[in-house]
Structure 1
Amino acid sequence: MNFVVSVLMFLFALTGVAGFYVDRLVSDLIRSQLQGAERLEVRVEAIPNYKLAWGDIDRLRFAGRGLSVRPGLRIALLDLETDAISVDLTSLGKVPRLRRPLQAAVHVELSEDDLNRALNTPEILKTLETIRVELPGAVGGSGQPEVATFTQPHITLLNANEVLLQAVVKVQGRTETLLVTFRSGLAVEDGLRLRLVKPTFTLNDVPVPPEIADVFLSSLNQIVDLEQLASQGIQARILKFAVTPGEMDLAGFARIDKIPGTP
């Protein structure tokens, strides 16, 4: 969100600057807000250029490859293209106010390696600690809920929207560890979150209860969860979702009715 605000404020401070230089300056601004970018291209379309002085842009196009957004979160590909943007210039110097909602089409690709790095960030690993689960008797379950911590989560992206997820399970009060594995299809629910399709679960090759699978799904949804954007004034939906070996591909749209901090 800070990225959108910064770009809008910057763009409309560039009245009279030639198009090529606008593209370059905006690209440099975006790059400065990332931890790294292998490739970054920006195209600002405003014809004629002096439309910027009125607070209008015909289109903003952004193409990024290998974007490091924050520690542990890398995006292999991000393409974004907006509809026309119109900003009230009386708000310059403050958070810019949109004259009309800002809409954009977005295409994102995440690699298997990038997903695994994200799953092993401290924020995600913390959610995998002290989970209460009832383990099967075949692996020494007591018949009562026990406290388990999931470590070393790893995802393998397969064909036909299928994934294989594994993690090492440490049960409180035990010295030995267990290996939990589940294979499942993934589908998008309501354009907002992921759901499992025909999942199968094992713990040391023994079938396990579905609540263990919910632990993994919750972690994935923290990476691909659009509901959390609503509180920031952003409506977003996933329109296309595909998993192929080594890659997760998402396409959708976003609409910003107003930027936080504006009336």
Structure 2
Amino acid sequence: MEFFTLILTSLFTLVSPAGIALDILAEQNIRDRLFAAEKLEVRIDNTPSYQLLNGKVDRLRIAGRGLSLIPGLRLDILEIETDAIEVNPRELGRGSGNRPVRGLQKPLQAAVRVAVTEADINTALQSPELYNQMQTLALSLFDSPLIQQIATRYTLVDRQVTFLPNNRVRFQTKVQERGYDDSLTLTIETGINVIEGQQLQLISPSVWVNDRPAPRRLVTGLLDLTRRFNLQRLENQGLRSQVLQFNLTPAGAEIALFLAVNP
């Protein structure tokens, strides 16, 4: 939600000098708030144009390549197209709880396409700050005593992802108990599917510990945890989402989804 807040605050705080297009100003405003942007294009559709001052936009389109909102997390492709937006510019900002974006006067609906490369993901996995954020996200999504115990007692070292054909992925890491030097090598290979645009599903998962097949109960536990990953859980936080397309190839991962942020 931070990125949507960034976009909206960049857009509705624009002051346009005569002769300068709002598209150009919005692009520069958004670019200035990003850590990095290799390519960025912004298109604002508004008739009449002064609607922007009243917090209204007919449609917003953004196309970016090589975008980094924070250090270590690069998006190879980010494309966003919104329906009409209506906000109160004086109240606009990051919300909390079930109001993730403050100042919305109507639901913010958008189609989003994101693509990342294998190198992008592995760079992100090596970042301690991003690892801590992902760990916190996993705890909030799964709400599992087992996951909480693992997070408290163990840490994952040398985390690495390999994208495989046929929507399959391999994740390998060393599991190290905090305060000790010994570690185990954990390897997980699985296909990934999304059921009805909401529910994550693992296809034929295999788990190895030190290159030996893991006990069946570990695989069963992994499947049970994955079933908890359902986008409907985000509706309690004011966000409705649905995956429209999901592809994994050796070149990278791509996802297209519909998002609706409640006012």
| Partner in structure 1 of residue 52 of structure 2 | 52
Give 1:211's match in structure 2, choosing from 210, 218, 226.
Answer: 218
| Partner in structure 1 of residue 242 of structure 2 | 237
| Partner in structure 1 of residue 254 of structure 2 | 249
Alignment of 1:1-263 (within 5 A): 1-12=1-12, 14=14, 21-87=21-87, 91-95=88-92, 97-123=103-129, 125=131, 127=135, 148-170=154-176, 177-189=183-195, 191-192=197-198, 194-209=200-215, 211=218, 230=235, 232-258=237-263
Q: Which moved more, 1:152-161 or 1:176-185?
A: 176-185
Q: Distance in 1 between matches of 2:148 and 2:4?
A: 37
| Partner in structure 2 of residue 135 of structure 1 | none
CA contact (8 A) 2:58 2:84 kept: yes
Structure 1 runs not aligned, ≥5 long? 133-146, 259-263
TM superposition score normalised by structure 2: 0.74
Q: Distance in 1 between matches of 2:61 and 2:154?
A: 46
Q: Distance in 1 between matches of 2:53 and 2:180?
A: 68
Shift of the alpha carbon at 1:173?
A: 9.1
Q: Percent identity?
A: 37
Q: Distance in 2 between matches of 1:184 and 1:83?
A: 36
Structure 2 runs not aligned, ≥5 long? 93-101, 139-146
The alignment partner of 1:117 has SS state of helix
1:15–1:123: structure 2 CA closer, same or farther, 3 Å change rule? closer
CA contact (8 A) 1:3 1:30 kept: no
How many residue pairs are counted as aligned between the two chains?
Answer: 239
Deviations 1:198-256 (A, max 9, x none): 111112221103537967998x99xx985675455222221211100030010011112
Q: Distance in 1 between matches of 2:181 and 2:34?
A: 42
Q: Distance in 2 between matches of 1:78 and 1:61?
A: 11
Partner letter of residue 255 of structure 2?
A: L
TM superposition score normalised by structure 1: 0.74
Deviations 1:115-138 (A, max 9, x none): 112222325645499965xxxxxx
1:74–1:10: structure 2 CA closer, same or farther, 3 Å change rule? closer
